[in-house]
């Protein structure tokens, strides 16, 4: 195969064509202050020989004046471009850098580590495919490490590489690396991070960055660059849901009217039927026009101009979709908001809200809770301050076409803008496709219960605890159909029963055979099924019994309501996670096939979203773990929480 150097010398056009066909990976570096983020990026650029010679000479001179390496070449100066950054040896702004290798092209976002610049980190992470989280080997997992990890999980970044940096300062000891890896893994188990890697490095000297380190023979995994070049990201892109926000109506002459924009997700072909939102008018695609000519099909994230067969009133901010695959169209929704301004968020105050190509006026009508990023606990809040994150209910003055953020990052995200200063003050991720204000399930109806007097048992909880040698609790196993919830629940019941504990399995499907036989499968009916299950679990817990509940429970808000019914102190959430392809293979009842055919509507993972728990107590990836290992981890969780093992 002809090398890149030979091609540059003999056939520059072929070299450029090969370069253009390379896959692009966007990634960020984040972590606490002084963990070595800029140094790592500088080392990557230096060792891949993507720094020009004149830049390198200038950097060597600057290393003598500003560097923190005793006069040696300081890789951090490659990205710390601001004067204040070089003087303080920190990153303030988000610095973007580009480089390429023979296998891939890369865009790096070097994000700040200081707490007051967390908003900059969120900005850099919003378009990333992968996150590199650096940890100083001397200090381990810090508060800002947890904050950035939570934001990475919140923003839906599927691939995370934890690099334990400055191994040279701890004599490259394996036990230091293993301790940090375990500490971080324990914390990350409560986040939604599907793919997690750990690499010990020394960014200053280049150990395990581009070249394998000879000073850490105990590490047999890939180098950082090797992992960046091979991590699989093609399946991350949503090619199922066609979403085309119109950015510009293109009228170069009287004979041409096209609608220009970037395909947010999905694929579109000539002749396919499309629907315009919010008008819901329909037409067919006549042509797909680009600078290089017409295409038969286009896909995300291509920028194209679509022409239609019919004259339809379409303007900037409208969205083209397929009639059989329509996003939610509403003027209210729930979202996680990262607040980015010194002035706090004020519920009820009008802000500008920019969603895809549309800008509307909106306000936060209620803050449901605020997240403590150190403990991941939810706290009541009346406002959000700088860098705080909370779940909010948002109202806008015009309906928006949106998807849940975890299903579609392009149509599930928005920013809040101050109407006076025009500054970006918040970033939001839409959580669900229904809101509490659109329906009032039985959770919210106190009419039949306000006059009832609670019946108090003559047996105290303490007496039950001493008799059963256990604390009552409800373990909610939630996940897609076919993920293995019920199988694991029954295996755990067998294990606990054999050990002498009192426990009961409460299965959502079995509940539908009797108590919930009147319910369908809409979002409201699923919510009601879980509410009934939560009431049963509460009664079982009141009797001192451990309840193992297996429900799809696709909605985060509904799970939180169940926690309030049962009692947050005795409610544990376990995410039984498996790729949907594997769930389909396990589906012996044919539920997914019926959902594809439209027989089952509102089916999580197919025609309705599934929201993974934001902060589960445990994640069980059943594509990687067997039943016995899953049960073992659940038993360990119950023991660590003091639920079993009492004497």
CATH code for position 192: 3.40.50.300
Print the domain residue range for 285: 243-321
Q: Is residue 453 part of a domain?
A: no
The domain boundary residue, chosen from 197, 219, 236? 236
pLDDT at 236 over 90: no
Using one digit for the tens of pLDDT, what is the confidence trace for 565-607?
A: 999 899 999 999 999 999 999 988 888 887 777 666 678 888 7
Cα–Cα distance, 568 to 117 (Å, whole number)? 33
pLDDT at 31 over 80: no
Residues 205 and 334 in one domain: no
Strands 303-308, 256-262: pairing is antiparallel
Residues 227 and 249 in one domain: no
Q: Is residue 438 part of a domain?
A: no
The answer to whether the CB of 78 falls within 8 A of the CB of 66 is no
pLDDT of amino acid 244? 96
Using one digit for the tens of pLDDT, what is the confidence trace for 478-532?
A: 999 999 999 999 999 999 999 999 999 999 988 988 888 877 777 778 888 999 9
Cα–Cα distance, 425 to 123 (Å, whole number)? 11
Contacts of 420 by beta carbon, 8 Å cutoff, 6+ apart = none
Residues 229 and 247 in one domain: no
The domain boundary residue, chosen from 176, 208, 236? 236
pLDDT (mean) for 93-105: 77
Strands 351-355, 358-371: pairing is antiparallel
Q: Is residue 292 part of a domain?
A: yes
Residues 232 and 259 in one domain: no
Render 372-421 in DSSP notation, one character per residue.
Answer: -TTT--EE--S-B-TT-EEEEEEEEEEEEEE--TTT-TTTSEEEEE-TTT
Render 446-509 in DSSP notation, one character per residue.
Answer: -TTTTTPPPPPPSS-HHHHHHHHTS---EEEEE--TTSSHHHHHHHHHHHHHHTT--EEEEEHH
Residue among 258, 263, 308, 248 at smallest CA distance from 281: 308
Contacts of 290 by beta carbon, 8 Å cutoff, 6+ apart = 298, 302, 303, 304, 305
Using one digit for the tens of pLDDT, what is the confidence trace for 597-641?
A: 766 667 888 878 888 998 899 999 999 999 999 999 999 999 999
Using one digit for the tens of pLDDT, what is the confidence trace for 150-178?
A: 888 888 888 999 999 999 999 999 999 99
Residues 303 and 407 in one domain: no
Residues 250 and 228 in one domain: no
pLDDT (mean) for 381-386: 89
Q: Is residue 435 part of a domain?
A: no
Residues 136 and 204 in one domain: yes
Q: Return the CATH number at 281.
A: 2.40.30.10
Residues 355 and 300 in one domain: no
Residues 115 and 83 in one domain: yes
Q: Is residue 176 part of a domain?
A: yes
Residues 270 and 340 in one domain: no
pLDDT of amino acid 53? 62
Question: pLDDT tier at 237 (50, 70, 90 boundaries)?
Answer: confident
Cα–Cα distance, 135 to 144 (Å, whole number)? 10
Residues 317 and 392 in one domain: no
Question: pLDDT tier at 83 (50, 70, 90 boundaries)?
Answer: very low
pLDDT at 388 over 60: yes
The domain boundary residue, chosen from 215, 236, 257? 236
Structural domain count of the chain: 4
Residues 573 and 589 in one domain: yes
Q: Is residue 289 part of a domain?
A: yes
Q: Is residue 215 part of a domain?
A: yes
Q: Is residue 211 part of a domain?
A: yes
């Amino acid at each position: 195969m002809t090398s890149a150097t030979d091609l540059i010398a003999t056939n520059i056009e072929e070299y450029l064509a090969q370069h253009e066909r390379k896959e692009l990976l966007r990634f960020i570096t984040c972590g606490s202050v002084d963990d070595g983020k800029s140094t790592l990026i500088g080392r990557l650029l230096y060792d891949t020989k993507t720094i020009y010679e004149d830049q390198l000479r200038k950097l060597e001179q600057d290393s003598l004046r500003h560097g923190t390496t005793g006069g040696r070449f300081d890789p951090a100066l490659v990205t710390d471009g601001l004067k204040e950054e070089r003087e303080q040896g920190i990153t303030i702004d988000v610095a973007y850098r580009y480089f390429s290798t023979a296998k891939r092209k890369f865009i790096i976002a070097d994000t700040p580590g200081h707490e007051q610049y967390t908003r900059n980190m969120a900005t850099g992470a919003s378009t990333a495919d992968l996150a590199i989280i650096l940890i100083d080997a001397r200090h381990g997992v810090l508060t800002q490490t947890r904050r950035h990890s939570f934001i990475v999980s919140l923003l839906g970044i599927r691939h995370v590489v934890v690099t334990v940096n400055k191994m040279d300062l701890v004599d490259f000891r394996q036990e230091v690396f293993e301790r940090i890896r375990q500490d971080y893994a324990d914390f990350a188990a409560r986040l939604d991070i599907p793919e997690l890697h750990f690499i010990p490095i020394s960014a200053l000297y280049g150990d395990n960055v581009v070249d394998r380190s000879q000073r850490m023979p105990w590490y047999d995994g890939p180098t950082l660059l090797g992992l960046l070049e091979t991590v699989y990201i093609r399946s991350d892109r949503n090619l199922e849901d066609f979403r085309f926000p119109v950015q510009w109506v293109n009228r170069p002459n009287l004979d041409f009217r096209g609608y220009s924009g970037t395909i947010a997700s999905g694929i579109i072909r000539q002749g396919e039927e499309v629907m315009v939102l919010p008008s819901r008018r329909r037409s067919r695609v006549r042509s797909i026009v680009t600078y290089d000519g017409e295409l038969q099909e286009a896909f995300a994230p291509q920028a194209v101009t679509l022409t239609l067969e019919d004259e339809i009133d379409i303007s900037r901010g409208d969205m083209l979709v397929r009639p059989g695959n329509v996003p939610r169209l509403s003027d209210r929704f729930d979202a996680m908001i990262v607040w980015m301004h010194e002035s706090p968020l004020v519920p009820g105050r009008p802000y500008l809200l920019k969603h895809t190509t549309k800008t509307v006026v909106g306000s936060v009508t209620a803050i449901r809770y605020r997240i403590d990023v150190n403990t991941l606990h939810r706290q009541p809040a009346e406002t959000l301050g700088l860098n705080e994150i909370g779940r909010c209910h948002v109202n806008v003055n015009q309906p928006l076409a949106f998807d849940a953020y975890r299903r579609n990052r392009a149509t599930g995200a928005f920013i809040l803008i101050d109407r006076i200063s025009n500054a970006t003050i918040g970033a939001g991720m839409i959580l669900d496709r229904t809101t509490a204000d659109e329906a009032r399930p039985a959770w919210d109806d106190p009419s039949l219960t306000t006059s009832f007097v609670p019946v108090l048992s003559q047996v105290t909880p303490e007496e039950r605890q001493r008799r059963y040698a256990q604390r009552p609790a409800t373990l909610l196993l939630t996940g897609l159909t076919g993920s293995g919830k019920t199988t694991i629940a029954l295996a755990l019941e067998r294990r606990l029963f054999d050990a002498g504990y009192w426990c009961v399995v409460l299965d959502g499907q079995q509940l539908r055979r009797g108590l919930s036989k009147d319910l369908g499968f809409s979002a409201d009916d699923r919510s009601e099924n879980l509410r009934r299950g939560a009431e049963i679990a509460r009664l079982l817990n009141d009797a001192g019994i451990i309840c193992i509940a297996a429900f799809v429970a696709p909605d985060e808000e509904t799970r939180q309501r169940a926690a309030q019914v049962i009692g947050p102190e005795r409610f544990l959430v376990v995410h039984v996670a498996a790729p949907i392809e594997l769930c389909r293979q396990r589906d012996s009842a044919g539920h997914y096939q019926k959902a594809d055919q439209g027989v089952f509507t509102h089916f999580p993972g197919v025609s309705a979203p599934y929201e993974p728990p934001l902060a589960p107590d445990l994640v069980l990836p059943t594509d990687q773990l067997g039943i016995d290992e899953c049960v073992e981890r659940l038993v360990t969780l119950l023991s660590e929480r003091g639920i079993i093992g009492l004497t």
